[in-house]
């Protein structure tokens, strides 16, 4: 779990190190809202928001910080801790079927 104050900095560092085709599973403390960050190319990311809103974004690394500032306000307004799981290669069926215990 990562404190919300340093979340974006940590996310950018993890996104840079992420191999192409792999993804990060970002969840609220209660694990009831999800955002997936998939690295498609060197500087291109697919962000899938699945919580209060269901949207998809394709952004480069420079716009990732601004996008996650907006997503933090929409999806995690009262969370003080956010969970980041480093996952393997992204496959839509497998990623959607992962169930985590909800608090």
> So what's the pLDDT on residue 103?
67
In a domain, 37, yes or no: yes
> So what's the pLDDT on residue 100?
72
Return per-residue pLDDT of the chain as tens, 103 residues. 899 999 999 999 999 999 999 999 999 999 889 999 999 999 999 999 998 999 999 999 999 999 999 999 999 999 899 999 999 999 877 777 777 777 6
Q: Which helix (H) or strand (E) holds 16?
A: helix 7-17
> So what's the pLDDT on residue 38?
95
Domain containing residue 79: 2-53+62-89
pTM of full prediction above 0.85: yes
In a domain, 31, yes or no: yes
In a domain, 11, yes or no: yes
């Amino acid at each position: 779990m990562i404190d919300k104050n340093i979340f974006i900095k940590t996310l950018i560092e993890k996104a840079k190190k992420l191999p192409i085709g792999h993804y990060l599973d970002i969840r609220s403390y209660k694990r009831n809202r999800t955002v997936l960050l998939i690295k498609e190319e060197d500087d291109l990311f697919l962000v899938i928001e699945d919580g209060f809103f269901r949207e998809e974004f394709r952004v480069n690394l420079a716009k990732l910080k601004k996008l996650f500032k907006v997503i933090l306000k929409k999806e995690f307004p009262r969370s003080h801790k956010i969970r980041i799981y480093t996952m393997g290669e992204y496959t839509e069926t497998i990623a959607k079927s992962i169930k985590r215990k909800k608090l």
